[in-house]
Structure 1
């Protein structure tokens, strides 16, 4: 029971952190060189196309390598509009996630009622699923504004990233103590 509770709480925290960033943040004023950074067109670290202000762990970020795709100014505006168009949904999900997390925390404090804990865990899982659907919806809307060349580049970059992640996981598994 303890392992399940820890896993559910970790998921709840990740969901809350991601949705909090998506729901409350505004595009940040840029760093060096003005609001868009030196020649970055808003694509610098923490800029509107990164996982910062509107992104987050389980937030609205479309999980596309937008900075590497050389979006036009018009495309950047469209992405911004898509993200802002889903902001209220993100806020509502954040509130649902917080309520589900609070209920789970309450059900696993003191004498644990496994049935109640399982029910609250399922409720939290449902919110996580809703967040995944919303993120997928945002990704599809952003994908639709990319040119075929940008889509091909995004696919290539994502495949390379997944390969690096698999290699990293493999190295971590090899480092685990055997026994």
Structure 2
């Protein structure tokens, strides 16, 4: 029965969504500047979409400042646009091939914006988990229709997949609540 549906693969994919979510939350730093703040950004470069770290180097020269050294002069505008349009509330200052990105002081409004971004990341992770669940359920329906597994086996595996999904969603919610508390702490 378990040969037909690889439950471990579904679990691995759900865990991957959690890891991606943790990585995204890592970019929402409070207090100090962090290079990981800009890592989720993608740039339209050379006819495709690339992560920012493939077109520039991000450093932290001061506690409230990021420095983005763009390697190709033609990409400076695209990197600046991506940072401005990221929804992080950052306004880069162009200085040749380097962008200085001052981080605004975290006032109440800024903290609420960061919480909204964290909520968007959480919703993205939940959607990814639900897609994995849907793939597993579709696979089960196909296996049952083909006669590979019985209806009882299908129902029991379906319950197992749903339970994994519910547990993963709860984990996403716990991570979100923790991050919200960290952001809102003055």
Structure with max Cα Rg: 2
TM-score (norm 2): 0.33
* Bigger helix fraction: 1
Q: Which structure has more strand as a fraction of its residues?
A: 2
Per the normalisation by structure 1, the TM-score is 0.34
